Amino acid sequence: MTVVQKASATGRPSEAHVLTPSQVAKTAALGVILWFCAAMAVRFGTPTGFLAGTAAVVTFVLSAFVGVPTVWLMKRVCGLGSSQVISGATVGTASATLCDGVALMWFRSLYGPSAEAVLPGAACILWGVGWILAAAYWDGHRAASGARAAE
């Protein structure tokens, strides 16, 4: 299968972006694992002050760089082609976001002792998810642009 397949005669894009059941399971599992790692970083990092004051700005700036390595990891671990990265990132971040929603609603103490401690961490996790989705879009767009240029 090529990285990007041409549109069919109907003008619809090909289905090269569709994930196999195995890839869906792997991207969902990776999303949950990475979410748990982020939740633990919030849990154990918040007492150090990494989400307070000026340190919060530094943390947010640094967490913007999580997207590219996460997409690279997802491609390698889940066996995704460039045309599947957006689909894989969607499944992984959806799984992570669902876990985050459940944890914030019913298991808030997972993140810390109080809502005051939880909110900055939850915001940082959402910020990181946004960067992962942006990196996945960029990766897929770059691959598609390269394939079009090669035609």
Mean pLDDT of 87-100: 96
Q: Does 81 map to a domain? A: yes
Euclidean distance between CA atoms 45 and 21, whole angstroms? 36
pLDDT at 88 over 90: yes
CB atoms within 10 A of CB 60: 16
Q: Comparing C-alpha atoms, which of 50, 29, 42 is closest to residue 125?
A: 42
Domain count, the chain: 1
Q: Does 104 map to a domain? A: yes
| Full domain range(s) for residue 128 | 36-150
79: its two tokens:
């066996």
Q: What is the pLDDT of residue 5?
A: 41
Write out the E strands in the chain.
none
Q: Does 27 map to a domain? A: no
Q: Does 111 map to a domain? A: yes
In tens, the pLDDT along 26-85 reads 999 999 999 999 999 999 998 999 999 999 999 999 998 999 999 999 999 999 998 999
Output the 3-class SS for 6-52.
Answer: CCCCCCCCCCCCCCCHHHHHHHHHHHHHHHHHHHHHHHHHHHHCCCC
CB 151 within 8 A of CB 2: no
Q: Does 55 map to a domain? A: yes
pTM: 0.83
CA distances from 102 to 14, 25, 99, 108, 137 (A): 35, 20, 5, 9, 27
In tens, the pLDDT along 115-139 reads 887 899 999 999 999 999 999 999 9
Rg (C-alpha) for the chain, rounded Å, is 18
Q: Does 20 map to a domain? A: no
Q: Does 124 map to a domain? A: yes
46: its two tokens:
């918040």
Q: Does 18 map to a domain? A: no
